Amino acid sequence: MIEVRGMTGGMARLEPGSLDALRGRFQGQVLLPADDGYDEARTVWNAAVDKRPALILRCADADDVAEAVKFARSRGLLVSVRCGGHNAAGKAVADKGIMIDLTLMNRVEVDPAIKIAVVGGGARLGDFDRAAQEHGLATTAGVVTHTGVGGLTLGGGVGILARKYGLACDNLLSIDLVTAEGERLVASEDENPDLFWALRGGGGNFGIATAFRFRLHEIGRKAWFAAATHPLEKSFGVLKFLMDYAPSAPREVASKAVFATAEDGARVVTIGATHVAPVENVPTVLRPVVEHGSPLVTRLEERPYLDIQSDADLRFPYGQHYYWKTHLIRALPDEVLDVLIGCFARVPNHRSMIILQQFGGAVADVATDATAFANRDAEFDFIPTAVWHEGEDSGPLIEWVRQTWAAMKPFATGGVYLNSLGSDEEDERRVGEATGANMARLRDIKARYDPDNFFRLNANIEPSAR
């Protein structure tokens, strides 16, 4: 007898015979806690998440996903969904729940003639980038290669191509979905267009995406990259420069800043910019990044796009503990820079950091109500991030993140990037800040496709009253 948590919080029991029957209909793996592969399947990127599902259903295809949904729904069981397992809040895993795991569904098929990719719901960004780059193609993806394509895209999807080509969700042509009833359907501009609207930035609240069709862009296999590292005491002028440079640079350029601790223990700020798509005079466009001030180290070079896409992997490896809170901002005026620099000066360990990731450009070309992604007026995502090892005292680190976030709140837009929401109660209440004026429509769509809130372990949008 297996005890499984129900949707309403109580416990239900599964008879062994019901699992035997499921195995007979299932092409993938049905894993119990004692089975080989269970611990690997339940482990996610953030080691601060250590949960034990009662049952893991590793789906081989969309039919398996539909079977898993019907099995759980008919018994009123709590379900979580894993595509890449990269969400910091760890909502892909639920203690005593059922995990529907898509990681076996990681195929990527690219048609270079029509510049379209079909990407499985369990694929990671590295899978997608590598397949597209075989043909010199790409579309907007995130900045860490082991992020899941599904979670990133459903929440919007920001990366170094966003200023030129828009968000990942802006490059979607269609999504194959399994609904809360276990029904398979397609969402696109022509089929179920209301659902397609909601899936582009509304998160994984409306069903399980088993495949995505993306529009690709010709970018070649290399891009120009510039970076300059400065001591923290020089960071006021460096950030002031970046606030002028980043929004005014050509749309092919995506900028960022990272406050971190160097190997010698010195606290530094690094500004970086990547120029995609072949054009003339790229070094000239990027040269101000490396020529401003007196940097400690600079880089200005043409590099493989795949290498640039994997740069952040070293900062965000699997198996570390993570906690963050974020704000969207339009700019950092001079009076804010000292606040930000002072916050980083108090960082408690050498692994934690503050990141500014650029939005802007083509992201803002799309109307706020054209997709569910509402916060298109932001220029940067501000992300203070605590990183620590097992056994290290997390209390001061988490408090540092919260204090830094609070100090910057008066200067934020009031919005938040859905994919950046964390696990604490305050972030749970911030879903409305991510969806903005689109919330009412999202709740109505949720009520049509999932009125019982079966898919609730996510950035949850509750259905409107019927």
Q: What is the pLDDT of residues 333-361, one digit of tens each?
A: 999 999 999 999 999 999 999 999 999 99
- Give the pLDDT of residue 16: 84
pLDDT of residue 426: 81
Q: At what angle do helices 395-408 and 334-345 cross, to 10 degrees?
A: 180
Q: What share of the chain has pLDDT > 90, as a percent?
A: 94
DSSP 333-399: -HHHHHHHHHHHHT--SSS-EEEEEE--GGGGGS-TTTSS---TT-SEEEEEEEEE-TTS--HHHHH
Which of 450, 439, 378 lies closest to 414 in space, CA to CA?
Answer: 378
Domain with CATH 3.40.462.20 in the chain: 222-427
Q: Side chain identity at 73, as an amino acid letter?
A: R
Q: What are the beta bridge partners of residue 298? A: 228
In this predicted structure, the answer to whether residue 387 has a pLDDT above a threshold of 70 is: yes
Which pairing describes strands 98-101 and 55-58: parallel, antiparallel, or unpaired? parallel
d(CA 253, CA 140): 13
pLDDT at 279: 65
Give me the architecture of the 108-219+433-449 domain, per CATH: 2-Layer Sandwich (3.30)
Range list for CATH 3.30.465.10 in the chain: 108-219+433-449
**For the domain with range 2-101, which CATH number is right: 3.40.50.2000, 3.30.43.10, 3.40.50.300, 3.40.1190.20?**
3.30.43.10
For residue 147, the SS3 value is coil
Q: How confident is the model at residue 376 (pLDDT cuts 50, 70, 90)?
A: very high
Q: Three-state DSSP class for 148?
A: strand
Tens digits of per-residue pLDDT, 175-217? 999 999 999 999 999 999 999 999 999 999 999 999 999 999 9
* Region 75-91 average pLDDT: 94
Dihedral sign for Cα atoms in the order 43, 45, 51, 57: negative
Cβ 210 vs Cβ 121: under 8 Å: yes
Intervals of CATH 3.30.43.10 along the chain? 2-101
Regarding predicted confidence, which is higher, 87 or 438? 438
Copy the structure tokens of residue 407: 């100090």
Given 1.10.10.10, 3.40.640.10, 3.40.462.20, 3.40.190.10, which CATH number is that of 222-427? 3.40.462.20
What b/e readout covers 425-448, taking b as 16+ CB neighbours within 10 angstroms? eebeebbebbbbebbebbbebbbb
